Amino acid sequence: MSPLITPAELAALDDPAVLDVRWRLGGPPGRDAYREGHIPGAVFCDLNADLAAPPGPEGRHPLPAAGAFQEAMRRLGVSGSRPVVVYDEADATAAARAWWTLRYFGHPDVRVLDGGLRAWVAEGRPVAAGEESARPGDFVARPGGMPVLDAGQALELATEGVLLDARAAERYRGEVEPIDPVAGHIPGAVSAPTFENVDPAGRFHQPEFLRERFNTLGAVPGVAVGAYCGSGVTAAHQVLALDVAGLPAALYVGSWSNWVADPSRPIATG
């Protein structure tokens, strides 16, 4: 089953839990946009509060504890037997983090609305304003459903497999670093900006296109693949795109913000 779903497929789905995960680094708050208009029945999922633990040495968006994530998802109406659809404004940058985290904690049926709210509205489908509440869910969080990397494993993979850096190319090269205290990339990592996974409307490219793109970067069947970014958000988007292409990949959740927390770790530029 594809991890993506179209607006028509969502409209036909029987009783899904729909999560609005609109988020943008530096704001504005996604909840404000949700209140202005969202897919009817959707509830707002806060990326910072519901899909990550507080920032610290483990990174800016470390994995939440299983108990905290379970509580958040139950509050949002998520149950293990109920399909979940997640969306954001368009390109799935934030929605992919919800998809990945739910899959990591064991939910069997999570899909991302391809093209997000923009695609839904473009088809003339209805939107609702204000807040909505969900009936409580019974989701049980069981860690380990998706492969993860720690810092040491990420460095090893950059040498022995393929480690994709999902950030903008200028951040990878170390020319700029607007967020983290040190610029550069993990030695051996390959630059693969996530914006190249989607078309101008924010929809994912076809699986064949994505497969060719990742094959060109060295991600081919039989080779271990991982992804990282600044804090594990856009790297989840990379893992989603790899999944669409039929290529499994591990996520370095702490990503660059965790990597540079230890000054003894090597840094490459250029």
Given 39, 94, 229, 239, the catalytic residue: 229
Domains assigned to the chain: 4-122 (3.40.250.10), 151-259 (3.40.250.10)
Using pLDDT thresholds of 50, 70 and 90, give the confidence band for residue 67: very high
* 45 catalytic residue (yes or no): no
What per-residue confidence (pLDDT) applies to 26? 79
Using pLDDT thresholds of 50, 70 and 90, give the confidence band for residue 27: confident
| 87 has a pLDDT exceeding 90 | yes
Using pLDDT thresholds of 50, 70 and 90, give the confidence band for residue 69: very high
Residue percentage of the chain with pLDDT more than 70: 100
Predicted TM-score of the model (pTM): 0.97
Q: What is the mean pLDDT of the chain?
A: 97
Write the secondary structure of the chain as one string of H (helix), E (strand) and C (coil).
CCCEECHHHHHHCCCCEEEECCCCCCCCCHHHHHHHCECCCCEECCHHHHCCCCCECCECCCCCCHHHHHHHHHHCCCCCCCCEEEECCCCCCCHHHHHHHHHHCCCCCEEEECCHHHHHHHCCCCCECCCCCCCCCCCCCCCCCCCECCHHHHHHHHHHCEEEECCCHHHHHCCCCCCCCCCCECCCCEECCHHHHECCCCCECCHHHHHHHHHHCCCCCCCCEEEECCCCCHHHHHHHHHHHCCCCCEECCCHHHHHCCCCCCCCECC
Q: What is the pLDDT of residues 30-53, one digit of tens each?
A: 999 999 999 999 999 999 999 999
Q: What is the pLDDT of residues 246-263, one digit of tens each?
A: 999 999 999 999 999 999
What per-residue confidence (pLDDT) applies to 209? 98
